[in-house]
Amino acid sequence: METLRQIVVFVHIIGFAVLFGAWAAQAFGGKKQFTALMNYGVAIAAIAGLALAAPWGISWTPGASFYIKITVKLVVLLIIGAFIGIGIARQKRNETVPSVLFWGVGVLTLVNAGIGLLWH
Ligand code: HEM
């Protein structure tokens, strides 16, 4: 079970890499637009993250801190998803995407990765 959990963490990190990679490619040298690949990254990170939110494959009993952490991560993920959704809808209508939405996705993605790594 512990190995399986490690594999799910690996998939979770792949979701992060897809989301952040797609965003970084757009942010640095790209058109600063939202892409379908970002949605795939969010979906992968969300599914694997929800699987990790249950306390299986670990030898310790999660305390309140663990559940506060994943609740914060879930809220941040929902904000990221909303920003991408609003952005893609505006792009389809040929409207400009507010830069706070675009840069917000990159910053919030790093915030969630940081919480995952540093909050224990
Ligand atoms: C954009 C969204 C997200 C990103 C970029 C992200 C990124 C990360 C990263 C980089 C780690 C560190 C893995 C490691 O320990 O080596 C991690 C761990 C983790 N994440 Fe996420 N995550 C996201 C969303 C979520 C969501 C929505 C949940 C649950 C509702 C979640 C639950 C977890 C859990 C349980 C861990 C393991 C931490 C531990 O065992 O203490 N993540 N995440």
Q: Where are the domains of the chain?
A: 2-118
| Positive or negative: CA dihedral 69, 73, 74, 75 | positive
pTM confidence score: 0.94
Give the whole-angstrom CA distance, residue 94 versus residue 115: 35
The per-residue pLDDT for range 36-91, each reduced to its tens digit, is 999 999 999 999 999 999 999 999 999 999 999 999 999 999 999 999 999 999 99
CA-nearest residue, atom 2 of ligand 1: 77
Neighbouring C-beta atoms of residue 41, cutoff 10 Å? 24
Question: Residues 1, 56: contact at Cβ < 8 Å?
Answer: yes
| Positive or negative: CA dihedral 45, 47, 50, 51 | negative
Closest ligand 1 atom, residue 117 Cα: 12
